[in-house]
Amino acid sequence: MQSCAKSWGILFAKCVNPHAPCRHIHGKSRIFGKQQNRIQTLNNACVTVRGLRTSAVYAASRQIDRILPRHDDFAERHIGPGERDKREMLDVLGLESIAQLIEDTVPESIRIQRSMKMDDPLCENEVLERLQKIASKNKVWRSYIGMGYYNCSVPPVIQRNLLENSGWVTQYTPYQPEVAQGRLESLLNYQTMICDITGMAVANASLLDEATAAAEAMQLCHRQNKRRTFYIDPRCHPQTIAVVQTRANYIGVKTMLKLPHEMDFSGKDVSGVLFQYPDTDGRVEDLTALVDRAHKGGALACCATDLLALCVLRPPGEFGVDIALGSSQRFGVPLCYGGPHAAFFSVKENLVRMMPGRMVGVTRDAAGKEVYRLALQTREQHIRRDKATSNICTAQALLANMAAMFGVYHGPQGLKHIAERTHNAALILAEGLKRAGHRLHSEMFFDTLKVGCSVAAKDILARAVQREINLRVYGEGVLGVSLDETVKERDLDDLLWVFGCESSAELIAEKMGDRVKGIMGSPFKRTSKYLTHAVFNSYHSETNIVRYMKRLENKDISLVHSMIPLGSCTMKLNSSSELMPITWNEFANLHPFCPLDQAEGYQQLFRQLEKDLCEVTGYDKISFQPNSGAQGEYAGLAAIKAYLNSKGDAHRTVCLIPKSAHGTNPASAQMAGMKVQVVEVDKDGNIDMANLKALVDKHKANLASMMITYPSTFGVFEESIDDVCNLIHQNGGQVYLDGANMNAQVGLCRPGDYGSDVSHLNLHKTFCIPHGGGGPGMGPIGVKEHLAPFLPCHPVVSMSAGNMSSSLGTISAAPWGSSAILPISWAYIKMMGAKGLVHATEVAILNANYMAKRLESHYKILFKGRKGFCAHEFILDVRPFKKTANIEAVDVAKRLQDYGELEQGYSQHCIYG
């Protein structure tokens, strides 16, 4: 494998004579102005190439670098416009250089005056070699820990043609259905699969993980009946309990851990109950009576469950459950050290308008043809804002599509076969454990056994280490074993040996015969049919499933067709070299609760990525636990609330949010228990300082925070940003800066420097994780030092010494969120280097201003900065067309789809660089 030269070298192959024919090698350069063709010495501050002056010194200092200049600069390939394109755009703008554009766009008071401190950039081959060394430090043992995470067999045909396919992974959320029919059909398949398997009426198109889905269920119960007590069965997964308790704490709902026989619904103050079926210990029991008691008391019943188990187990919809939820991970998605995985959420019909997240519906187009579109969007944050059913925006669409294709590929008979096989393996192991003298805590189970050990548990664990096996450790001589579809006879033999059983799986199975039937011979056996639709019974060969996936893919617009549709912060190349490592065994197949010494590679990657992100943002500490931007908002505001509470300022609950903010901002503030006050904006799109000062003065005794999107969603770098931050701090509040628009800041200014206390970073936007048609995402938060003790913790994995008591709580199911996609952002930063990151930001701003200039003679540009420039986006006003031609924004948007899509606002268009 060829590695690139370590030195930057010079920018072209034949460097002596700039007039000679040569291959132009563009580095991470900034254009300063037209010059005569010349090359200055190393002591000068610039190098001139083809008449374009650059800001960095790239002249080669060694003869070897002149002879062997680097030829595979990643930044050159990542950034779209070439030197000629950039020169043309600057000419249209009437500018001599990109530096001049930045000076006229980004306020001088916040611009950083030094280069970012980062490692020299790596080429693609080098970064893959480096990542392989990091990945090799992860030890992939056989994990039978369970707790909602299981090994599974990922069909290679789905991995190759969906997960690793730019035609599936690069799209934005399908808000414009005309160019998203393929994804929408697949997500409708997902919803149908969830409804069928859970026995419920309606499902959404995925949530972030099982624990946050349970928290959404708790909030739904509270919204439905306005009651403030919520019961949780302590036999739910511990991470689920922690996430629900954290969420409930901030919205004023009291959670109580009680076993079913201890729950009292007579007081009419209980909003709902959450239980696990099968529970975290593997037990399967009849919960019909609990559901009936809850309903008689006016409460809702929420069931966290397992899709694979429900293929042979009576579904919750058949015993009256109101909400069924869980993870679809074991439907063809690897462990991924905790994520990303798609959660499912299904409800009775009467709760459909209270349900969180996106839903796909069926309608008819103008020609009467049946088509798909997002339905009931008036529930969601981009419309209802602080009145929304949830703050969720990015979900887990790509992983939901993987799970849906897993269901389509296997069909009902295939899924039942996998479930029965998994259950049979558990029956064989259970029989062997009993023969070895161990005690099972339950005789009715699906795939998980809680074992009371007849010998010292430490001795069993020592034998497990010899075979590189991870078990769940309860303490006090109790261990847990959870099996899955990948378990083979050899694995059972190893487990039997670990527990001291002298028989083999083969001998036990022969002696068992047909007498041990487990669930299949019990009243819990599923008798109802599922997945009866033709789509789940037609594509069971590789040829057919490949053609089906390709047919859906071809209905959509993605990066393989044109600019990435929609989203100010998603205009990024998702390079192949960044995406390759996510399917490597060492990254894909680690259980999130395995011992930390088995995940040393991941821990190293987390530390390095944290260091780089702190350098980019000016913050002191990063938490990777939030697994979406909206989760990051909630986590950041919760950190502020925990900090204020620690100072005795629990009464501070007012959150100021500009009218121009993303819809997730007010929805997240409401989730964090804050009261939203809207700040007006002036005619130029800036925060109305007079209105802000009046609101601050009015609420200064109770001011908790202000949320600011910067640059604003109107595409403006507001000159007063540092004054705004100072005003909030002077009145006892904290500043939350929405990091969604970091695409226009990286390398030019740092939120932590100009007054922000906390931000979330959309790694699926600014740092190149693909959006996947609506997820996965990552929304880590960066904080200043005073907020660091309040970052998220985890009930299963110890993440940071000393912050358990002060922590805001637990935000997501996995300790480090969607860990498996973090190598993408790590690789992007390492390949771009400091200069490449800066230049990407500069070119984004240049692109947007060029487009605005070209269009301003035909359309009104609604908002500009003080010197007439925009940030990385701008808004076109097309409202006059309504009067002159009866054409509205949606009509323009649909016409643009024929050429490469832009984002449609309600009465205008947003265009992004």
Q: pLDDT of 385-406, one tens digit each?
A: 666 667 778 889 999 999 999 9
Q: In this model, does residue 432 exceed pLDDT 60?
A: yes
Distance CA 625, CA 634 (A): 12
Average pLDDT over residues 157-183: 92
Contacts of 749 (CB under 8 A, 6+ apart): 106, 110, 111, 112
Q: Of 328-337, 449-458, 506-515, 695-704, which gets the smallest average pLDDT?
A: 506-515
| Cis ω for the linkage preceding 177 (within 30 of 0) | no
Long-range contacts of 891-900 (CB under 8 A, 24+ apart): 893/176, 894/176, 894/178, 897/176, 897/178, 897/179, 897/557, 899/562, 900/557, 900/561, 900/562, 900/563, 900/565
pLDDT tens, position by position, 742-800: 999 999 999 999 999 999 999 988 999 998 988 898 999 999 999 999 999 999 999 87
| pLDDT grade for 562, boundaries at 50, 70 and 90 | confident
Average pLDDT over residues 217-243: 97
Q: What domains are defined for the chain?
A: 172-396 (3.40.640.10), 408-521 (3.90.1150.10), 599-827 (3.40.640.10), 830-912 (3.90.1150)
Q: According to the model, what pLDDT value does residue 378 have?
A: 64
Note the Cα 74 to chain centre separation in Å: 25
- The widest CA-to-CA distance across the chain, in whole angstroms, is 90
Look at 60 and 872; give whichever has higher pLDDT: 872
| pLDDT grade for 571, boundaries at 50, 70 and 90 | low
Average pLDDT over residues 239-253: 97
Q: According to the model, what pLDDT value does residue 40 have?
A: 35
E strand or H helix that includes residue 422 = helix 397-435
pLDDT tens, position by position, 270-329: 999 999 999 999 999 999 999 999 999 999 999 999 999 999 999 999 999 999 999 999
CB 293 within 8 A of CB 265: yes
Distance CA 344, CA 205 (A): 7
Q: According to the model, what pLDDT value does residue 566 have?
A: 57
N-terminal to C-terminal alpha carbon distance within the chain? 35
| pLDDT grade for 350, boundaries at 50, 70 and 90 | very high
Q: According to the model, what pLDDT value does residue 792 have?
A: 97
Give the whole-number percent of the chain exceeding pLDDT 70. 89
Q: In this model, does residue 609 exceed pLDDT 90?
A: yes
Strand order in the sheet with 343-347: 202-203, 343-347, 323-327, 300-305, 270-277, 229-232, 254-257
| pLDDT grade for 381, boundaries at 50, 70 and 90 | low
Q: Of 44-53, 445-454, 456-465, which gets the smallest average pLDDT?
A: 44-53
Q: In this model, does residue 54 exceed pLDDT 70?
A: no
Vertex 39, ends 35 and 45: CA angle to 5°?
80
| pLDDT grade for 479, boundaries at 50, 70 and 90 | very high
Vertex 739, ends 360 and 239: CA angle to 5°?
65
Q: According to the model, what pLDDT value does residue 567 have?
A: 54
Q: According to the model, what pLDDT value does residue 803 have?
A: 74
Q: What type of residue is 894?
A: K
Look at 158 and 378; give whichever has higher pLDDT: 158
Tokens of 227: 């009651």
Q: In this model, does residue 29 exceed pLDDT 50?
A: no
Distance CA 602, CA 615 (A): 20
Phi, psi dihedrals of residue 640, rounded to the nearest 5°:
-60, -45
Q: According to the model, what pLDDT value does residue 490 have?
A: 98
Q: According to the model, what pLDDT value does residue 839 have?
A: 96
Average pLDDT over residues 622-645: 96
Strand, helix or coil at 911? strand
Averaged pLDDT score across all residues of the chain:
89
Look at 564 and 99; give whichever has higher pLDDT: 99
The β-bridge relationship of strands 654-658 and 439-440 is: unpaired
Distance CA 551, CA 526 (A): 34
CB 144 within 8 A of CB 483: yes
| pLDDT grade for 9, boundaries at 50, 70 and 90 | very low
Look at 503 and 713; give whichever has higher pLDDT: 503
Tokens of 893: 């948007």
Q: According to the model, what pLDDT value does residue 384 have?
A: 56
Q: In this model, does residue 44 exceed pLDDT 90?
A: no
| pLDDT grade for 900, boundaries at 50, 70 and 90 | low
Q: According to the model, what pLDDT value does residue 713 have?
A: 84
Q: In this model, does residue 592 exceed pLDDT 50?
A: yes
Note the Cα 846 to chain centre separation in Å: 29
Distance CA 494, CA 485 (A): 16
Give the whole-number percent of the chain exceeding pLDDT 90. 76
| Cis ω for the linkage preceding 626 (within 30 of 0) | no
Strand, helix or coil at 501? coil
Q: In this model, does residue 5 exceed pLDDT 60?
A: no
Q: What is the DSSP letter of 318?
A: G
Look at 682 and 484; give whichever has higher pLDDT: 484
Contacts of 563 (CB under 8 A, 6+ apart): 571, 900, 901
Q: According to the model, what pLDDT value does residue 568 have?
A: 53
Distance CA 465, CA 460 (A): 9
The β-bridge relationship of strands 469-475 and 142-144 is: parallel
| Cis ω for the linkage preceding 156 (within 30 of 0) | no
Q: Would you tell me how many other CB atoms lie within 10 Å of the CB of residue 437?
A: 12
Q: What type of residue is 200?
A: M
